[in-house]
Chain A
Amino acid sequence: MEIKFNKYRRIYFTLSGLLIIGSIIVLLIYGLKPGIDFTGGTIMELEYVGERPSSQSILSEIEEFGLGDVVIQQTGEKGVILRMKNINEDVHQQILDKLSGAEDIEAEGGMMIGIVKTDINEIRFESIGPVIGDELKSKTKIVILMALLSMIVYIALAFRRIQRPLRSWQYGVASVLALSHDILIPLGIFAVLGKFYGIEISIPIITALLAVLGYSINNTVVVFDRIRENLLRRGEEFEKIVDISLTETLSRQINTSLTTLFVAGAIFFFGGETLKYFALVLLLGIGAGTYSSIFLAGPILVFWRKFKK
């Protein structure tokens, strides 16, 4: 017995439509917050050996360097992360010296012998020039465009043999619609996260989005493959064939997503700071992708068929 997926398609379309429109709206209003990978800038992660001073006192200590906006975030028990514009190595060292309460050991006659750094360790330092950021931005745009294009070409080729009752390009359009659903929703969530929690779009996040792209197409392809197979073997109504195909592939869709969600979840909870948002994109994107491959891709085809009649 097949599950009547297509019966409730209005509900799915409305739900997904609202989510997509919501995502587009927050993207338009808040935009995405690009990280220093793309804008240039500095991230400096420090750990205090002794007591950690308040963010306010750190700010006032480094005020003299004229760094513009400095964002300070506390991590762990003794760590702080400083974000600011791109700085050169001299300023970097001066900031370190200042914050560590370093004293120059000067000999008579002003000759400097050495520096004693007392109470901070530098865990991580990244400073990226604006030129590199711009280059990366344009490079990333090309990668995203190429990936999207190749997926569309691939879908067109993969379904060129199904001509009845819909054209192969219509399958292509349906999978691209499902795909934009899977990409837009995580992006919308990151626009909100960026606005309220200062989470920035970094290279790992882009990488995860592109992985979601491949994954989402993969899920849709499995459903369409089954529809193709059933169309050749059965003579029933198109709507019924889509329902049968969705029912047959349902356990696979859920199970494959679950295993991938397990590993993405493991990375999110245990994999450390750098991979955290990478894993979050995967969780969101794969979740959305599984939903769309079951509730959107097939029903869109059925809707289109009815619409044409």
Chain B
Amino acid sequence: MFLCYKYIAMKRKTYIILLGIIILTFLAGNFAYPKYIKSVFPNFWDIDFKLGLDLQGGTHLLYQADLSNIDKDNYSSAMEGLRDVIERRVNMFGVAEPIVQTQESGDQYRLVVELAGIDDPAQAIKMIGETPFLEFREQKDEVETQTIIDKQKEIQDLNFEEVQLIENWELAFQDPYFKSTLLTGEYLEKAQIVFDQQTGTPLIGIQFNDEGSKIFEEITTRNVGKILAIYIDDVAISTPVVNEAIAGGSAQITGEFTVDEAKELARNLNAGALPVPIELISQQTVGPTLGKISLEESLKAGIIGLFLVILFLIIFYRVSGLLASFSLVIYVFVILALFKLIPVTLTLAGIGGFILSIGMAVDANILIFSRMKEELKKEQSFSVSLEEGFRRSWPSIRDGNITTLIVALILFGLGTSFIKGFAFTLIIGILVSMFSAIFITRNLLRLFVNTKLEEVKWLWK
């Protein structure tokens, strides 16, 4: 009587757990591949996989910064300035989520730039490599301005060959309003944010060195009442009007700045003034076609591998194998859902680790089933064999997974990016496979305790 009650309680517990497993499978499966559910519930949660540069195409650049001209105390601010300048340049390429990071390796300071899905890496490299260039430009005289504007109108609707037939056509490609002066970032001593004493608005105070001061005085003398434009990387940052000739080499740039903008500008001017030469020491570029092929091939390998493992499990372990295959498919769903949730940036190495983990994930089930078969051979009852199989294979499963986990953790902690990607998916794989192979498979098997199928020995042996 008591036994019977206990049995019913256990069955009920199994059913509740199974319901949980079904819900988990449904959610994880649809989250990993939302195409079908989206046709019914268009608002179903939909996140894309995050693909690494090797799978979507892109370029990874590593620059070495030469800080030999800079005080040790200013290393980090110089690197920050460098990063900001390059970040701004990189943003102009319209790449989604560009990455610009400073990196220290021993006493080396480096800058990592990652541009995903970029069309023309060569152009990007060219623009990144230029040292920020600060320049003061003065107005051209009106006659010259007018000539250029006229010329531009003249060629407006012409194509390239026709343009070349026009006299002095090169003029049309010049800036009509401003021309360069001798004064560049080379002569700047420092720039800093200051505040207007009356209005409290932020300004940028600049100080030239001796030579710069002289040039600045000359330029301001001949440009009183005119605009002296300040350009960084060929973009006009500020266009102040010169009120009087300035001696002593200090000036202020007024403009409609917020405090943050003024700070940034001051920092950029300093970066332009204090050139941190950078050198490209490593470059990895993957074209978009190669990325797409790699992705397709690795997915194909994964599907074929999964199919072979399932086929093997069913042929060799019959019903148990079928149940283990269900667990394996749930495993795949859960892992893919986790990749989206965490999110994991998927690289080829990561996918390699994941596919490998499919083969390893069934190891626990194989250990358990081998034990179950042994127990069944001893003419034990089905439920005893099942529980014994799980209980006695546990030490091996634990030890085996721990060794793989230790190696994976070391790879993750110390490795380079390829190794890290591999190790990370392997770690997730090991943890989830313990859950799927032990918890899910066990509860699926418990369904058959005290059923007619339990009696059919060849299904289990």
Out of A125, A203, A264, A265, which one reaches B418, CB within 8 Å?
Answer: A203
Q: Which residue of A lies closest to B400 (CB)?
A: A218
CA distance A210 to B289 in the complex (A): 31
Q: Is B251 an interface residue (CB 8 A)?
A: no
Answer yes or no: A302 CB below 8 A from chain B CBs.
no
Q: For chain A, what secondary structure do more than half of its interface residues adopt (helix, strand, loop), or is it mixed?
A: helix
Q: Which residues of B sit under 8 angstroms from A272, Cβ to Cβ? A: 293-294, 297-298, 301, 348
A125 and B283 form a contact (CB under 8 A): yes
CB-based contact B297/A282 at 8 Å: no
The verdict on A124 contacting B411 (CB below 8 Å), with A263-B358, A271-B301 known, is: no
Q: Does B414 contact A (CB under 8 A)?
A: yes
A122 interface contact, C-beta 8 A:
yes
Chain B CB within 8 A of A255 CB? yes
Asked if A111 lies at the interface with its beta carbon under 8 angstroms from chain B, I say yes
Closest to A206 in B: B419
B419 and A207 contacting across the interface, CB-CB below 8 Å = yes
- The distance from the CB of A300 to the nearest CB of chain B, in whole angstroms, is 19
Residue in A129, A142, A229 whose Cβ sees the most chain B Cβ within 10 Å: A129
Listed stretches B151-159, B239-247, B258-266, B304-312; interface member: B304-312
Kindly state the separation between the CA atoms of A218 and B363 in the bound complex, as whole angstroms: 11
The interface residues of chain A lying within 8 Å CB-to-CB of B298 are: 267, 271-272, 275
Nearest residue (CB) in A for B313 is A259
List B residues 274-292 near A (Cβ within 8 Å): 280-287, 289-290
> In the complex, what's the smallest C-beta–C-beta distance from A118 to chain B, in angstroms?
16
* Residue from the list A123, A142, A222, A270 in contact with B400, Cβ < 8 A: A222
Closest chain B residue to A159 by CB distance?
A: B399
Stretch from A65-73, A132-140, A165-173 that touches the partner: A132-140
Contact B312 A259 (CB under 8 A): yes
Q: Identify which of A54-62, A146-154, A181-189 touches chain B.
A: A146-154
Report the separation of the CA atoms of residues A248 and B358 in the bound assembly, to the nearest whole angstrom.
Answer: 24
Give the residues in chain A near B358, CB-CB below 8 Å.
Answer: 263
Chain A 107-144 near chain B by CB (<8 Å), digits 1 or 0: 11101010000000111111111011001100110110
Whether A207 and B422, one on each chain, are in contact in the complex, defined by CB atoms closer than 8 angstroms, is yes
Q: How far is the CA of A92 from the CA of B59 in the complex (A)?
A: 14
Flag the segment in B14-22, B38-46, B178-186, B366-374 that touches A. B366-374
Question: Does B440 sit within 8 A of A, measured CB to CB?
Answer: no
Q: Contact mask B295-339 → A, CB, 8 Å, 1/0?
A: 001101110111011001100100000000000000000000000
Given contacts A147-B410, A252-B367, A255-B316, contact A129 B164 (CB under 8 A): no
Known contacts: A260-B356, A266-B305. The answer to whether A275 contacts B348 by CB under 8 A is yes
A123 to B286, CA, bound (A): 6
Interface mask (B402-435 → A, CB under 8 Å = 1, otherwise 0): 1110111011001110110010001000000000
Query: Cβ of B396 and Cβ of A221 under 8 Å apart?
Result: yes
Q: How far is the CA of A221 from the CA of B393 in the complex (A)?
A: 12
How distant is the Cα of A189 from the Cα of B294 in the complex, in angstroms? 26
Q: Is A294 an interface residue (CB 8 A)?
A: no
Tell me the B385-409 residues at the A interface (CB within 8 Å). 392, 395-396, 399-404, 406-408
Do A151 and B407 form a contact, CB below 8 Å, given A111-B170, A125-B285, A272-B294?
A: yes
Cβ A124 vs Cβ B290 within 8 A: yes
Chain A minimum-CB-distance residue to B105 = A135
Query: What is the bound-complex CA distance between A169 and B434, given in angstroms?
Result: 29
Cα distance, A206 to B287, chains bound together (Å): 25
**Chain B residues near A206 (CB, 8 Å)?**
419
Bound: A109/B169 CA distance, A: 11
Interface residues in A, total, Cβ within 8 A: 75
Interface residues in A192-242 by Cβ distance below 8 A to B read 203-204, 206-207, 210-211, 213-215, 217-218, 221-222, 225-226, 229
Asked if B376 is at the interface of the complex by the 8 Å CB criterion, the answer is: no
Q: Indicate if the CB atoms of A278 and B304 lie closer than 8 Å.
A: no
Chain A residue at smallest Cβ distance from B358: A263
Q: Which residues from A are CB-within-8-Å of B359?
A: 259-264
Given A107-B170, A252-B366, CB of A203 within 8 Å of CB of B419: yes
Q: Per a CB cutoff under 8 Å, which of B126, B370, B399 touches A158?
A: B399
Give every chain B residue within 8 A of A207 (Cβ-Cβ).
Answer: 349, 411, 415, 418-419, 422
Nearest A residue to B106 by beta-carbon distance?
A135
- List residues of chain A with CB within 8 A of the CB of B126: 89
Q: Which residues of A contact B122 (CB under 8 A)?
A: 89, 92-93, 96
Cβ of A88: which chain B residues have Cβ within 8 Å of it? Answer: 280
Q: A265-B308, A266-B304 are in contact. List 11 more A-B contacts (CB 8 A).
A: A89-B122, A122-B287, A123-B287, A123-B290, A125-B283, A211-B407, A260-B363, A263-B308, A265-B305, A267-B305, A272-B348
Pull 29 A–B residue pairs with CB atoms less than 8 Å apart, ordered by A: A89-B129, A108-B170, A123-B286, A125-B121, A129-B64, A136-B416, A139-B415, A143-B410, A204-B418, A207-B419, A210-B411, A211-B422, A214-B406, A214-B407, A218-B401, A218-B404, A222-B367, A222-B396, A222-B400, A226-B396, A252-B370, A255-B312, A255-B366, A262-B305, A263-B309, A263-B358, A263-B359, A267-B355, A270-B301
Query: What residues make up the interface of B, taking CB atoms closer than 8 Å to A?
Result: 54, 62, 64, 105, 108, 121-122, 125-126, 129, 160, 164, 170, 280-287, 289-290, 293-294, 297-298, 300-302, 304-306, 308-309, 312-313, 316, 348-349, 352, 355-356, 358-360, 362-363, 366-367, 370, 374, 392, 395-396, 399-404, 406-408, 410-411, 414-416, 418-419, 422, 426
List the interface of chain A (C-beta within 8 A of B): 45, 88-89, 92-93, 96, 107-109, 111, 113, 121-129, 131-132, 135-136, 139-140, 142-143, 146-147, 150-151, 154, 158, 203-204, 206-207, 210-211, 213-215, 217-218, 221-222, 225-226, 229, 248-249, 251-252, 255-256, 258-267, 269-272, 274-275, 278-279, 282
Of all A-B residue pairs in the complex, the 8 with the closest CB atoms, nearest first, are A214-B407, A263-B305, A272-B297, A266-B305, A271-B301, A129-B281, A263-B359, A260-B359
